[in-house]
Amino acid sequence: MCICLVSTRHPDYPLILLSNRDEFLNRPTAPADWWQQPNGHVLGGRDLQREEQGTWLGLTKDGRLAVLTNFREEGQEIAKNKSRGGIPKAYLTSPSGQVESDEDFAHRLINDVGIHDVGGFTLLFGRLTSNSSFSGLSIISNRTSSAAGLVKVAEKPDETHGLSNSHFGDLTWPKVVHGEHLLSQAIKASVFRQDPQEKLIDGLFDVLSVDTMPKRQVGEDWNTYARQLRNSIFIPSVGGEPVAAKPADEVAAARDTDRPGRAEVKVGELVYGTQKQTVVLVDRKGTVTFTERTLFDEAGSLISRDSAERRFHFNIDGWGA
């Protein structure tokens, strides 16, 4: 039950993006990094479980951004031979500097890559440029029959939007409504306080770490309980058989390397929860600050913030072009 939040409300950062990747905690996943050639212009994590080694969130040196969320559809069979992570990968791995409009990519995605032989998804994508030439971000899904119907967001200042595991604009998902409100409030408070960048980033991770997940009731089956995932921005470890459990604030922060019992926090098979958290800031000069926090290692052990956090700074090529 991933969530993506995007805002243009901050006066110093024309674009702020937050993302929680919710997944089975022991699913093999590479942390964010610059990809190997010929795709060395792409920054993002990789799904190592699927042959495509796709991604859920990536950004390129020339400012192309792509974020994918899955649909939650009970009773629907998901195609298993093609990874949805290949959808953002198709956008991000176009040669650096190649000019392709959002509409052109949507046509290529539908006609060449194919979007009807994978499970349900929504893709937020677009090229980040200076305010004078930025036309916003586009949204497409495999519930869209034509590229002519692209939805545009983040076209102007003072917008905040959320996207989770349903169609864009679905306000029946409390985590989306809550996330939009909390992000707007966090930005407003940070601007008022004139926070330095580091404090702003910590406040945005606090938004991603809000846990309102109700407890599983005695005798409640997993499929019924899984419907509650739409309620919480942060998903604590649920399902399967946890070896040990910790409150969400401890799991999300994981800041103290000497926290008592930290090393003993592990998860068993089929335990699901927030696996990675990402905050992306883009300032008015086109400088990107990309921060990813990984909450669990490959063995399912909770790891410290010092080990979990990866940060990247770079300037977007052709920002003012």
CATH number assigned to the domain comprising residue 214: 3.60.60
Q: Is residue 63 part of a domain?
A: yes
Query: What is the count of structural domains for the chain?
Result: 1
Q: What is the pLDDT of residue 237?
A: 83
Query: How far apart, in whole angstroms, are the C-alpha atoms of residue 143 and residue 145?
Result: 6
The number of residues in the chain equals 321
Say which amino acid occupies 195.
D
Say which amino acid occupies 71.
F
Query: How far apart, in whole angstroms, are the C-alpha atoms of residue 227 and residue 248?
Result: 19
Query: How far apart, in whole angstroms, are the C-alpha atoms of residue 319 and residue 321?
Result: 6
Query: How far apart, in whole angstroms, are the C-alpha atoms of residue 269 and residue 250?
Result: 21
Q: What is the pLDDT of residue 244?
A: 46
Q: What is the pLDDT of residue 142?
A: 82
Q: Strands 160-163, 151-153: parallel, antiparallel or unpaired by DSSP?
A: unpaired
Q: What is the pLDDT of residue 301?
A: 74
Q: What is the pLDDT of residue 26?
A: 80
- Paired strand residues for 296: 302
Say which amino acid occupies 63.
G
Question: Please, what are the averages of pLDDT over each run of 10 residues along the chain (321 residues)?
Answer: 94 97 87 95 93 93 95 60 89 84 91 84 94 88 70 95 90 94 98 98 97 86 83 85 49 40 46 93 97 84 80 94 69
Q: What is the pLDDT of residue 147?
A: 59
Q: Is residue 320 part of a domain?
A: no
Query: How far apart, in whole angstroms, are the C-alpha atoms of residue 206 and residue 186?
Result: 9
Q: What is the pLDDT of residue 267?
A: 47
Q: Is residue 317 part of a domain?
A: no
Q: What is the pLDDT of residue 260?
A: 37
Q: What is the pLDDT of residue 266?
A: 46
Q: Is residue 259 part of a domain?
A: yes
pTM of the full structure: 0.89
Q: Which residue, among 43, 48, 54, has the nearest Cα to 29 in the 3D structure?
A: 48
Say which amino acid occupies 36.
Q
Q: Is residue 191 part of a domain?
A: yes
Q: Is residue 59 part of a domain?
A: yes
**Helix-then-strand count for the chain, H and E:** 7, 13
Mean pLDDT of the chain: 85
Q: Is residue 243 part of a domain?
A: yes
Structural domain boundaries, residue 155: 3-311
Give residue for tokens 């093999």: 28
- Paired strand residues for 109: none
Q: Is residue 75 part of a domain?
A: yes
